[in-house]
Amino acid sequence: MATATDRAAPPAVALRGAGLGFGGNPLFSDIDLPVAKGDRICLVGRNGSGKSTLMKALAAEIDVDSGDRFVKPGARVVYLPQDPRPPRDMTVFEYVEGGLPPSSDNAPRDHLVEAAISGLSLDGGRTMGGLSGGEARRGALARALVSEPDVLLLDEPTNHLDLPTIEWLEDMLEGLEAGLLIISHDRAFLRRLANRTLWLERGQLHRLNEGIDAFPDWAEKLIADEEVQAHKLNRQIAEETRWLREGLTARRKRNMGRVRGLLDLRQERAERIKRPEGMKIDAGEASRSGSLVMEAINLTKRFIDERGVEKSVADDVSFTVRRKDRIGIIGPNGAGKTTLLRMLLGQEEPDSGRVKTGFGVETIYFDQKREQLNPADTLWSTLCPGGGDSVEIHGKKKHVVSYLRDFLFADRQATAKVATLSGGERNRLLLAKLFAQSHNLMILDEPTNDLDVETLDLLQEEVSDYDGTVLLVSHDRDFLDRTVTSIIAVEGGGRIREYVGGYQDYLGERRRTEKPAETTSTKTAKAKPAAEKPRTRSTKMSYKDGRELELLPERIAKLEAEIVRLGEELADADLFSRDPKTFQTKSARMVAAQEELAAAEDRWLELEALKEELAGS
């Protein structure tokens, strides 16, 4: 299962016998890594194992110390790094257009550029220098998608993307003929796009001819087999050493072969790189809080975005968070997820409404920008801001260096500056800082960014087992499905809705509630040509249109009354906790009624316009 397989297609790009090290320490050695057109491969490994460096070597961004790189003549190999640095003076359209391959017929291809820009929610007229880091990354992704590559190398492509954009990207990549090599912490993304797994572990590349779901059991078996082999090797060395010590001096010449054999065994043991200890995340037991943790009461919040456009985060929104709730918060980028969190935390005031916090609530907040970490501080002073050499963890003192080891930091890093840490290391440090505090409400804003699969699994288990309350903002669908029991969807335009279950449950409920609206829209669309393009220049309305116009005001009035009634029923703050099913049914009907009202009003205006046009002809 773990052996390489023969390919039908020759590789478009490959590393052969590649090795690379820094400061005398090998990062990887004797690596063979071919990627052919049509391959679907994910590359996994711990943070710091060398995944990104290996991908850079395959992309010819860096040179290897040994071995070589092969590229099939004429093959296009396109690389998307984690931190792209596009030219600042180009517009988004110009930058993405620059990724197009040469064309023999000079046919216009603007539609390809526009589709990629639109799919990634970018404005083609803006300059690259005016984009945020996440937007610039999306620009680089759009450029890669239009490049018609033979091989596409993607390093954490879903970082800074919202869920609708990730799903759009999956559809795009699934339709490509190019070979894909992907580094990602997003299991759902890898599950859909990769059918083979490469594991970079202690400088060696292990191959699995299955997707990411088979990886944990396979890796565990590899580790167990390795431990058995290490035990056998140690026993063999002990036996050979004892035999030689007991041998007679007169037989020394005859035993030199076994002496050399023993030296070889010891050399083999020395060359085995010790497997590093795993991360030990422990949030501890939650302190006691009251039944009511948090209540949002008629929250309204608007803001002006960077383009001067007013946007609404919440429009008269109310919901309740109770002890041991596990709520995922989702929504498009820019919809206001982080703003909602900041209002709940009291860090930002709503325009109207208020947030009520329950008795005894102790909050820890993981902010996605890691603003709680001071780049000038050391790791030691971050965990011990008042001085000293120990932290109190769940009522027991622990030396700060020992505690840092639990989060995979080397002893020498204790006195290093936070500014020297990678994104994944900063995430681990912030988790260490937060879990050392007393808490019963865990608010996590995109905690999975920059974490490797192994650390992600540990964090997921800790959040799942946590006996306090969890509010989690994440674009990681697998993480949401494994940890939360309800979803708050920040949908933009001030709409915030609650759904029971994880992300897949949310999708299913959305599909069910959108069906009536789609039926209404379809009927309306079919009716429009009769009104807009009458077959004859009649001077009066048809009986059907006239009758519809006559009945529409009554229907509109009924829908308006129903919406008012549903709004009053849903305003009951205890309805969701008392009867989630009824709350869900009424919420779904409210959405459908609002959409039916909008369609009825549009149709009434359309028929009134037709009536006036015919009267004047």
Instruction: Give the confidence band of 233 by pLDDT, cuts at 50, 70, 90.
Output: low
**Strand-pair category, 441-445 with 396-399:** unpaired
From the list 504, 501, 498, the residue with the least C-alpha distance to 576 is 498
pLDDT top residue among 428 and 281: 428
- 3-class SS string, 556-617: HHHHHHHHHHHHHHHCCCCHHHHCHHHHHHHHHHHHHHHHHHHHHHHHHHHHHHHHHHHHCC
In terms of Cβ atoms closer than 10 Å to its own Cβ (0-12, 13-18, 19+), residue 411 is exposed
CA angle 543, 546, 547 (to 5 degrees): 85
Range name among 165-179, 223-237, 268-282, 519-533 with the lowest pLDDT average: 519-533
What is the mean pLDDT of the segment spanning 279-307?
81
Do residues 587 and 497 touch, judged by C-beta distance below 8 A?
Answer: yes
pLDDT at res. 267? 56
Q: Is 45 annotated as a binding residue?
A: yes
Q: Is 336 annotated as a binding residue?
A: yes
What is the mean pLDDT of the segment spanning 513-528?
47
Q: Is the dihedral of CA 240, 241, 245, 250 positive or negative?
A: positive
Structure token pair of residue 405: 């080891």
Question: Position 301: which residue type?
Answer: K
pTM > 0.75: yes or no: no
CA angle 545, 550, 556 (to 5 degrees): 110
Q: What is the DSSP string of 189-247?
A: HHHHH-SEEEEEETTEEEEESS-GGGHHHHHHHHHHHHHHHHHHHHHHHHHHHHHHHHS
How many Å apart are CA 212 and CA 76, to the nearest integer? 27
Q: Is 127 annotated as a binding residue?
A: no
Q: Is the dihedral of CA 340, 346, 352, 358 positive or negative?
A: positive
Q: Is 331 annotated as a binding residue?
A: yes
Whether 306 has a pLDDT exceeding 60, the answer reads yes
Collapsed DSSP state (helix, strand, coil) of residue 427: helix
Q: H or E stretch including 286?
A: none
- Which residues have a Cβ under 8 Å from the Cβ of 498 and sit 6 or more positions away? 319, 486, 487, 488, 489, 576, 583, 587
Whether 259 has a pLDDT exceeding 90, the answer reads no
Q: Is 424 annotated as a binding residue?
A: no
pLDDT at res. 593? 83
Whether 521 has a pLDDT exceeding 80, the answer reads no
pLDDT at res. 205? 92
pLDDT at res. 6? 42
Instruction: Give the confidence band of 300 by pLDDT, cuts at 50, 70, 90.
Output: very high
Question: What share of the chain in percent tops pLDDT 90?
Answer: 29
Q: Is 25 annotated as a binding residue?
A: no
From the list 432, 449, 39, 29, the residue with the least C-alpha distance to 211 is 39
Q: Is 51 annotated as a binding residue?
A: yes
pLDDT at res. 198? 95
Q: What pLDDT, in 10s, does the model give residues 308-342?
A: 778 888 999 999 999 889 999 998 877 888 889 89
How many Å apart are CA 151 and CA 319, to the nearest integer? 47
Q: Is the dihedral of CA 289, 290, 291, 296 positive or negative?
A: negative
pLDDT at res. 133? 72
pLDDT at res. 266? 56
Q: Is 334 annotated as a binding residue?
A: yes
How many Å apart are CA 135 and CA 327, to the nearest integer? 27
pLDDT at res. 88? 87
Q: Is 46 annotated as a binding residue?
A: yes
pLDDT at res. 454? 75
- Which residues have a Cβ under 8 Å from the Cβ of 236 and sit 6 or more positions away? 265
- Around Cβ 473, how many Cβ atoms within 10 Å? 24
Q: Is 337 annotated as a binding residue?
A: yes
Count of positions (residues) in the chain: 617
Q: What pLDDT, in 10s, does the model give residues 464-498?
A: 888 899 999 998 999 998 889 899 998 888 889 88
417 phi-psi bin (left φ>0, alpha ψ -120 to 50, beta other): beta
pLDDT at res. 255? 55
Q: What pLDDT, in 10s, does the model give residues 434-464?
A: 988 888 999 999 888 777 777 788 888 888 8
pLDDT top residue among 244 and 614: 614
Question: Average pLDDT over the chain, rounded to whole?
Answer: 81
From the list 389, 347, 390, the residue with the least C-alpha distance to 371 is 347
Using CA atoms, how far residue 611 sits from 144, 187, 535, 607, in Å, is 52, 57, 16, 6
Instruction: Give the confidence band of 579 by pLDDT, cuts at 50, 70, 90.
Output: confident
Q: Is 378 annotated as a binding residue?
A: no
